[in-house]
Amino acid sequence: MNYPGVSLRARIVPALLAVAAATAAITGCSTVDDLTKSDVAKTKVGDCINFTNNSATDAKGEQVDCSSPKGVYKVFQVFDTASTCASEYTSYTEPLASGGTTFMCLAPNFQQDSCYNDVGSSPYKWVECTSTEATFKVLQRVDGQTDEMLCGPDSDQFFVIPDPKTLYCAGKP
C-alpha cells in the first residue's frame, strides 16, 4: 500500500520501535522472574537441593553438592506449567512474578548413614542423627537396584526410586 507523502523510513521506524518494545516487555518479564526466583527455583535438572525450612506452605532451600548428606533432593524434571509427578517423587511449585510457575519433580537423594526428618506433608529435610527432629536414618543406599529384599534386618522401611534406580533402606536414627 502506498501512502502519499509518507516516506518508507516513516513507516519502518515505528514498526521497528513496536518490535523492540514487545521484545523488551517479554525479556523484562523473564528477567524479573530470574531475579525473583528462590534458590530452589533456580536449580536445573541434575542439581541437588537442601530444604532449610521444610514447611508445606513456605519451603525454603539452597542448591548443594549432590554428594553431601544435605543434598536431600535431586531435580528430576522441570516444567513451566503444573504437571503431575510420579508418586515416588516430590513436587515443588513456585509462583513467578510474571504470573507463571516453576514446577519441579524432585527425586530423593539420601546418603547412607545420614538422618532425615519426614513430617508427612512437607519435603524431607536433612538433620543431625542426634536431633530430636530425626525420624529415620538411611542404613543402606543401593544405586542401580530397586529390590527391597536387599535391605538388611535392621531396616524397618525402604524407599524405591525407579529412575534413576535407587533403593534406600532405612531404620530408626
Asked if the structure places residue 149 within a domain, the reply is yes
| pLDDT tier at 134, thresholds 50, 70, 90 | very high
How high is the mean pLDDT of the chain? 81
What tens digit of pLDDT does each residue of 6-45 get? 554 544 544 444 444 444 444 444 454 555 567 788 889 9
Residue type for 137, please? K
Task: Report the C-alpha gap between 118 and 123 in whole angstroms.
Answer: 7
Asked if the structure places residue 75 within a domain, the reply is yes
Nearest residue to 111 (alpha-carbon basis) of 156, 64, 149: 64
CA 30 to chain centre: 19
Task: Report the C-alpha gap between 135 and 130 in whole angstroms.
Answer: 10
Ranking 50-54, 104-108, 114-118 by mean pLDDT, the lowest is 50-54
Asked if the structure places residue 65 within a domain, the reply is yes
Asked if the structure places residue 132 within a domain, the reply is yes
Alpha carbon separation from 126 to 13, 32, 53, 133 (Å, rounded): 58, 31, 10, 9
Mean local confidence (pLDDT), 93-112: 87
Split into its structural domains, the chain has a count of: 1
Task: Report the C-alpha gap between 159 and 71 in whole angstroms.
Answer: 16
Q: The domain containing residue 143 runs over which residues?
A: 48-171
Residues 148, 150, 153, 156: is their CA dihedral positive or negative? negative
Q: What is the pLDDT of residue 106?
A: 93
